[in-house]
Structure 1
């Protein structure tokens, strides 16, 4: 089977997060499965599609230092993308990709694991990440777009944990120091493990050989088609729009709290972070015994369908707490979402925790 191998020059953040969407549209129209590689021109903060920017990013620091905040179409957590990583995007037709996320990651990330092993590193796949001696060296995610499946990932060549910690929102500067220390303990890089940074051309050669061997394919060196480039430019321009970057924040303009607050005898706003396989963040406003508004965010991956969380949030508005589990179950049953990071049971447990908060109980009576 023949695949395209496309190597692009360094890109800005808006072009990085739209490259694979453009290629996915090409693949959906019957184009060849594609392996895309490149790096970035300058650092930027990359926010997951299901996250609220104000909860994740230190906007004072990023604005002061002209570091763009870019929202991608892919789930997962907020990451700071720097010139120190080698980015790849695997875009395949849906029939060539397992529907189960675990099997999908195993098939398409095992070749990357083997490239790292070829450098003598103790690399293993852990969920959708690749770790070396327990430290993350490669973060990955997946999504569907049209008739295509996208696996997006990177190999950390150099890790600037200081910059990463400064861009992430933290409760205090003391906590930021702890975050920077923690990052250096659970993130690693080729430079740290090998003592040097291999040339990108060498990495590409090893990636090509590993994927060809594991997937029984043959790469052909290629470029993007004129149609892909046209679509790409259009999408990159759209991603600069603040309506998109802050869409999750603007969808819930009144739900700006990181704790539980009783506003009056009949109104409370409450926030909860719940750790399933991935982090679920729920912020809800309760008015006169009902859910007035709710936001569900986090670093999980909703592979399909698009807009699932918004549908669920809308269905939970105006309901009494006794119906929350029923609404979650019926929505999951009807829509049948493919999610990596949490289940319907996890979400029900998270909601139960927020409903049990004293501030909420006082309002619900």
Structure 2
């Protein structure tokens, strides 16, 4: 089977997060499966599609240092992308990939694991991440787009923990110091593991060879088509729009709290962070014993259907809090979402916990 293999020059953040969309459009229309390799030419903060920026990013720091905040179309958590990464993007016809996320990651990330092992590194796949002796050296995500499945990921060549920690929102500077220490404890890089950084050319060659041998495919080196580049530039420009960057924030401007507060005898506002396989962040506003507004965010992945989270929030709005689990069951049965990071049961438990908060119980 023949795939395209494309090595591209370094890109800005807006082009980094949109490259695979134009290629997914190409693959969906019958084009060849594609592996792209390139990296960021400047630091930027990359926010997951299901996250609220204000909860995740230190906007005072990023704005004062002209560091772009870019919302991607993929789930997962907020990451700070620097030129110290080496990024790969696989775009594959959806009829050729496993439907179960864990099998998808296992099949298409194993070649990256083996590239690292070739350097004598004890790399293993853990969920959608690649770790070395328990420390993450590669973060990955997946999504469906039209008739294609996109897998994106990176290999950390070097780490700038100081910059990363300053871009992430934290409750205090003491906490930031702890976070920086924790990052050094749970992140690693090729530089840390090897004492040097391999060349990108060498990495590209090894990545190409591993995918060919392990997937039984043959690559043909190719540039993107003019149509792909035109769409790519258009999409990158759209990502600069603040309406997109702050889409989740602006969807729920009245739910910006990390506490539970009883506002009056009939109104309460409450936030809960719930750790399932991934983080669920739920904020609700109760007015006259009804859910007036609901926000669900976090670092999970929703493979399909598109727009599921907005649809779920809208369906929960206006109902009696005691009907939440029933409504969640109905929506999951109707839409049959493919989610990596939490289950329907996790979501029901998280809502039950927030409803049990004293501030909420006092108004319902």
The residue aligned with 2:101 is 101
2:116 aligns with 116
Q: Give CA-to-partner distance per residue, 1:325-358, whole Å, 9 cap, x none.
A: 0010110011000000001000000000000001
Shift of residue 64 of structure 1?
A: 0.4
Task: Provide, for residues 86-119 of structure 1, a one-character-per-residue CA deviation record: whole Å limited to 9, x for no partner.
Answer: 0000000001111100000000000000000000
Task: Provide the rounded CA distance (Å) in 1 between the counterparts of 2:246 and 2:267.
Answer: 26
How far off its partner does 1:159 sit? 1.0
Secondary structure in 2 matching 1:363 = coil
Q: CA deviation at 1:161?
A: 1.1
Offset at residue 181 of structure 1 (A): 0.3
What residue number does 2:28 align with?
28
Q: Does 1:201 align with 2:195?
A: no
2:363 partner SS: helix
Give per-residue Cα distances to partners, 1:264-323, cap 9 Å, x unaligned: 111111000000000000011011111000000000000001100000000000100111
1:76 counterpart residue number: 76
Q: Deviations over 1:67-98 (max 9, x none)?
A: 00000000000000000000000000001111
User: Partners of 2:93 and 2:340 in 1: how far apart?
Assistant: 20
Question: Hey, what does 1:245 align to over in structure 2?
Answer: 245
| Other-structure match for 1:140 | 140
Alignment root-mean-square deviation, CA: 0.4
2:289 matched to which residue of 1? 289
Partner of 1:330: 330
Aligned residue for 2:51, secondary structure, equals coil
In 1: Cα distance, 2:313 partner to 2:207 partner: 41
Structure 2: distance between partners of 1:189 and 1:27: 32
Query: Aligned equivalents of 1:142 and 1:50: distance in 2?
Result: 13
1:163-202 map, 5 Å: 163-202=163-202
Residue 196 of structure 1 deviates from its aligned partner by 0.2
Structure 2 spans left out of the alignment, 5+ residues: none
Separation in structure 2 between the aligned mates of residue 97 and residue 234 of structure 1, nearest angstrom: 28
In the alignment, the residues of structure 2 paired with residue 321 and residue 253 of structure 1 have an alpha-carbon distance, to the nearest angstrom, of 21
Q: State the distance in 1 between where 2:206 and 2:7 align.
A: 14
Q: 2:342 — aligned with what? A: 342
Instruction: Report the Cα distance in structure 1 between the residues aligned to 2:96 and 2:84, rounded to whole angstroms.
Output: 31
Structure 2 counterpart of 1:55: 55
SS of equivalent to 1:205: helix
- 1:197 and 1:23 map into 2 onto residues whose CA distance is 29
Partner of 2:211: 211
Structure-2 separation of matches of 1:201 and 1:287: 59
CA deviations over 1:21-72 (Å, ceiling 9, x no partner): 0100000000000000101110000000000000000000000000000000
Alpha-carbon distance between aligned partners in 2 of 1:162 and 1:113, rounded to the nearest angstrom: 27
* SS of equivalent to 2:83: coil
Aligned to 1:92: 92
With the length of structure 1 as denominator, give the TM-score of the two structures.
Answer: 0.99
The 1-side partners of 2:68 and 2:266 are apart by 40
Unaligned runs of 5+ in 1: none
Write out the 4+ residue segments of structure 1 that deviate beyond 4 Å after TM superposition.
none
The count of corresponding residues between Structure 1 and Structure 2 is 364
CA distances 1:183-213 after superposition (whole Å, capped 9, x unpaired): 0000000000000000000000000110001
What's the TM-score once normalised by structure 2's chain length? 1.00
Q: Secondary structure at the match of 2:114?
A: helix
